[in-house]
Structure 1
Amino acid sequence: MSRDESQFYISGEEIRDHVGYAELIEALDQMHREDAANLGDLLLSEQTEGETTNHFMVRAGWQHGRALGVKMASVFPGNRAGDLPAIQASYVLFDGTTGSPLASIDGNELTWRKTAADSALGSLRLAKANCKTLLMVGAGAMAPHLIRAHISVRPKIKRIEVWNRSADRRDRLIASLQPEFNIVATDDLPYAASNADLISCATM
């Protein structure tokens, strides 16, 4: 791979190292105030031999004179049985004036961070400022990003409870975030929901 080709690709690790939640939330807040981009979508679906349906989605967005981007994502729910991500994605960025390709970006990390930041922006605008307890419903790939993003805008959160259909996956998430956070498991979703200050859901 040449130097130019290596610079063309932005990895998930580079995104993690250089894109913080606080700055991303601020950027999204600004973007939501601007004129909407021109968007176009394509969705392909395939029924599997089991009871699940696989999807392939393409979304293109064009900010005229600035940037043109295409996100391609596959949603294969059966991947979880093999411990693979159910959602996998790639993003390609083009110059909005010349149409020249600028970068290929790891779509998984980009999606996780952008989705989590948008969710946290919602809690910044709608949730009370003195939230103390966060309930995380779901323990998939999105969950740690949502937890970190929400805490970045609601730093008074002192306790995180996690509910998930699979206790094993829930416990792995908790172990990965300890001792950084005071995070515990819950099996009683109705009770946890009624006592949480903030609820974040990431389920399929």
Structure 2
Amino acid sequence: MSQERRQFYRVEKNVALEVQHVTPEEANHSNKPAQFEVSPYFELLSDAQEIDKQQTDLLIQLNESQPLLAELFSLQAKKLELITRTLANSGLKIERLTKQSVNLSEGGMQFVTTDNIYHVGDFIEIKLIFSNPLLGVLLYAKVQRVITDEDNFHIAISFHRTPENCRMLIAQRVIQTQALQLPETDQ
């Protein structure tokens, strides 16, 4: 894939980020990163996101035969989403996370740190929280590149064994961010 095409699928995104080292065994055999302190609100948000995906598919099917019923279910889903997001926004603690801009794609990202603790080939786990609307994912990744720039270290990672729902959520965020940036570049 050409560098220009790769850049098309990458965006700069402000996120809250927490990163920790894990062993290759953990990254290769565990279903989901478990080292983080995760509030029940984060779990609620993650579970609600998975249900939303399943529900959307069913609503599309239902809309073909029963549009009025599909609209009723859609309104109920919006109400529950509002309640879920309000609970998550009020109870999700991100004090321990670093808030920063990352270069994000569906397959990985680059972030900046002042700590020289990452090396090519290291496995890490990531807690990544987006805002507007609030969205969180827990992922494994592998360090692909470490570039030193004065006192900062630019860490490029590829996501490792990404669950499909997390991959879809990240892809949606990339596409949404690109759509918001397009009018800026046309001016």
User: TM-score scaled to structure 1, two decimals?
Assistant: 0.24
If asked which structure has higher relative contact order (CA below 8 Å, sep 6+), I would say 2
